[in-house]
Amino acid sequence: MNRYKVRLVTKGYAQTYGIDYEETYSLVAKMTTVRAIITMAATKGWSLHQMDVKNVFLHGDLREELYMEQPPGYVDQTHPNLVYRLKKTLYGLKQAPRAWSDKISQYLVTSGFQTSNANFSLYVKKIDHGIVVIAIYVDDLIIIGDSDADIFDLKKLLKQKFEMKDLGELHYFLGIEVIYEATFVPLFPVLQCDYA
């Protein structure tokens, strides 16, 4: 069975810097941070998990006042000249990545996480009996921690706020393949890189 996806996309190419948007950045974990997290999980025998945010750019809240024409096929025949005022981001908006970054960052900070000074896409939460670390690369999250129960609780918390897909143990991320081998420590991840 073929599956087709339909997505409402705005005409972001028509936006003007300084009027329609200011910042366009998104949280992107540095490769050194990703390697450090995987290495930390491997040396300490911690769990290493991955989650994916569905429709990531639909979660952001707009700061700017933006309007959009009624999309073809969905024009209100009684008011064809009216436009939509956007409150949330849509695909195509130049500020959608920034709005998503602000949303996830604010949620994690209010949930007790602290942002790393070295990498703003790295979040750490110290719990009474351990630690949980999250690295964000746009819509992909790497989660490590010394307690599987704390990681499970975090995943549950994230799923309540955002539509997410739990990918389980991390196996492949940005050209890095993680293979779990049984050694004298429980399930020791081994890095293999596909690039030079």
Among candidate residues 134, 185, 144, 178, the one with its CA nearest the CA of residue 47: 144
What's the domain range around 118?
17-54+95-193
Q: State the pLDDT at residue 193.
A: 53
Q: State the pLDDT at residue 53.
A: 92
Q: State the pLDDT at residue 6.
A: 66
In the 3-class helix/strand/coil scheme, how is 118-138 assigned residue by residue? CCCCEEEEEECCEEEEEEEEC
Among candidate residues 166, 167, 170, 168, the one with its CA nearest the CA of residue 158: 166
Residue at 4 is within a domain: no
Residue at 21 is within a domain: yes
Q: State the pLDDT at residue 183.
A: 58
Q: State the pLDDT at residue 109.
A: 94
Residue at 12 is within a domain: no
Q: Up-side HSE of residue 146: CA atoms within 13 Å toward CB?
A: 11
Residue at 11 is within a domain: no
Q: State the pLDDT at residue 17.
A: 77
Residue at 138 is within a domain: yes
pTM: 0.78
Cα 173 to Cα 37: distance, rounded to the nearest angstrom:
12
Residue at 82 is within a domain: no
Residue at 79 is within a domain: no
Low-confidence ranges of the chain (pLDDT < 50): 184, 186, 196
Q: State the pLDDT at residue 108.
A: 94
Q: Structural domain tally of the chain?
A: 1
Cα 37 to Cα 18: distance, rounded to the nearest angstrom:
37
DSSP state of 62: E
Residue at 172 is within a domain: yes
Q: State the pLDDT at residue 133.
A: 93
Q: State the pLDDT at residue 160.
A: 92
If you count them, how many residues does the chain have?
Answer: 196
Q: What is the mean pLDDT of the chain?
A: 83
Residue pLDDT, tens place only, 151-177: 999 999 999 999 999 998 988 888 888
For the purposes of burial, counting CB atoms within 10 Å of the CB of 37, is it exposed (0-12), middle (13-18) or buried (19 or more)?
buried
